[in-house]
Amino acid sequence: MTKMRFGMVLNVVALMLLLGFCCASDYKWRKAMISGETSSSMMMNRVGSSVLLPLYGNVYPIGYYNVTINIGQPSKPYFLDLDTGSDLTWLQCDAPCVHCVEAPHPFYRPSNDLVPCRDPLCESLHPPGEHKCDNPHQCDYEVEYADGGSSLGVLVRDVFALNYTNGAPLNPRLALGCGYDQLSGTSHHPLDGILGLGRGKTSITSQLYSQSLLRNVVGHCLSGRGGGFLFFGDGLYDSSRIVWTSMSLELPKFYSPGFAELVFSGKTTGLKDLIVVFDSGSSYTYFNSQAYQNLLDSMNKELAGKPFKVATDDQTLPLCWKGRKPFKSVRDVRKFFKSISFAFTSNGAKTQFELPPESYLIISNKGNVCLGILNGSDVGLKNLNIIGDISMQDRMVIYDNEKQLIGWDPANCDQLPKPKYAYT
């Protein structure tokens, strides 16, 4: 698991940075909802506008999807892990770097545009009552991830080189983290940083929205064959074709439809009130311990007498099966596995997010079939159930922060979509 984010408090030894700002003291981080202060007339000009970015990578064997964003003056490319499970975008930063990990590009050289401590963006990174300003001229941050990774740094503003889908340039000045002290987690990805796409004020989409540049909508389409696309704004989909469900009011930090019932092969498992979160920062899907054990019991019954046996010598994932001969694709085995669904009820309407075999199985490099649903309790997720990349492949998944809706629809993620409006 890579990207379910939780705050923590750490004391940091003072350090002089390249730009003359000092390091963070003990702070926490997390999200706050967008205030929504925009110009309605300017925002109306952005209806149907979008930014479209190609994605690279896959669930297996690479283990993540990433996007290239050009940042700074002069603009330089950076490979970022797209993460709907967190808000803050950050780059490994030469300020100088106390502890950084291997990255594909030279470390980001920060601008001298520091975000002050009392800025609302800075306040949103810290829990209520724990936002201190030992240095009022800078915003210190610290984020820790569920896999044990972390980033420590300061908030700066710099230019992001983007384009609307009609080709018009979009070069907003946005806040990002200059991360000068990183620790790798168990699921370390060799990238330049994180693209935070969560619900809070510091997320890229919230900042674009606050500047009246785009609707506060983000979506992605992850191809099962690798690659796909990421988009900001509402100009690339037909809303009438999307299956929508409401975001949970009880879980404002996450993209969560709230509580769900687990369905196996079209029949209820009896497990209800499961907390479900969509997280593009997680390569695989995670069930809590009860749901995971229920799933294993159901699968074992289905596979009894079938030409499979547990491949104990394959450590690709916790559970793999081998057949009489190596498998080449999930198509070779899909008839033996049943669909799984999360059933949601939103404002009286029922929706289901279905996981066909292609959405929870992989074929390892040993030719075995492996279960891409893991036990979240083993990685500290407790009762959370995470819908990760493997289960969002080959469908467009949309997070509409203005209407507080999550939507999905089957899609060809290998082909970049055309904008539904012609605009200037």
End-to-end CA distance of the chain: 41
Q: Which helix (H) or strand (E) holds 121?
A: helix 120-123
**Distance in angstroms (rounded) separating the CA atoms of residues 391 and 169:** 34
pLDDT confidence bin for 16, thresholds 50/70/90: very low
Residue 262 and residue 340 in contact, taking contact as beta carbons nearer than 8 Å? yes
Taking the C-alpha atoms of residue 113 and residue 104, their distance in angstroms, rounded to an integer, is 25
* Rounded average pLDDT over 106-114: 95
Q: Please tell me which residue in 140, 158, 279, 394 is annotated as part of the active site.
A: 279
Is the model's pLDDT at 184 over the cut of 80? yes
How many CB atoms within 10 Å of residue 137?
13
* 29: helix, strand or coil: coil
Q: How far is it, in rounded angstroms, from Cα 409 to Cα 238?
A: 10
- Residue 61: is the preceding peptide bond cis (ω within 30°)? yes
Average pLDDT value for residue range 100-109: 95
User: Could you give the percent of the chain with pLDDT greater than 70?
Assistant: 88
Mean pLDDT of 148-153: 90
Task: Give the C-alpha separation, 152 to 172, whole Å.
Answer: 24
pLDDT given for residue 39 in this prediction: 37
Answer with the residue of higher pLDDT: 405 or 18: 405
Give the pLDDT band of residue 46 (cuts 50, 70, 90).
low
Contacts with 49 (C-beta within 8 Å, 6 or more apart), sequence order = 164, 165, 213, 214, 215, 233, 234, 235, 421, 423
What's the rounded Cα separation, in Å, for the pair 389 and 346? Answer: 23
Is position 279 annotated as part of the catalytic site? Answer: yes
The DSSP call for residue 214 is S
User: 379 to each of 63, 81, 214, 374, how far by Cα in Å?
Assistant: 17, 20, 36, 9
Whole-model pTM: value is 0.88
pLDDT in tens, 232-278: 999 999 999 999 999 999 999 999 999 999 999 999 999 999 999 99
Between residues 88 and 380, which one has the greater pLDDT?
88
- State the catalytic residue, choosing from 83, 192, 234, 314: 83
Element (H, E) at 120: helix 120-123
Q: Is the pLDDT of residue 423 over 80?
A: no
Task: Give tens-digit pLDDT for 131-144.
Answer: 888 899 999 999 98
Residue 329 has pLDDT above 90, yes or no: yes
pLDDT (tens digit per residue) in 346-359: 888 899 999 999 99
Angle at 401 between CA 148 and CA 93, to 5 degrees: 40
Residue 129, pLDDT score: 82
The span from the CA of 13 to the CA of 15, in Å, is: 6
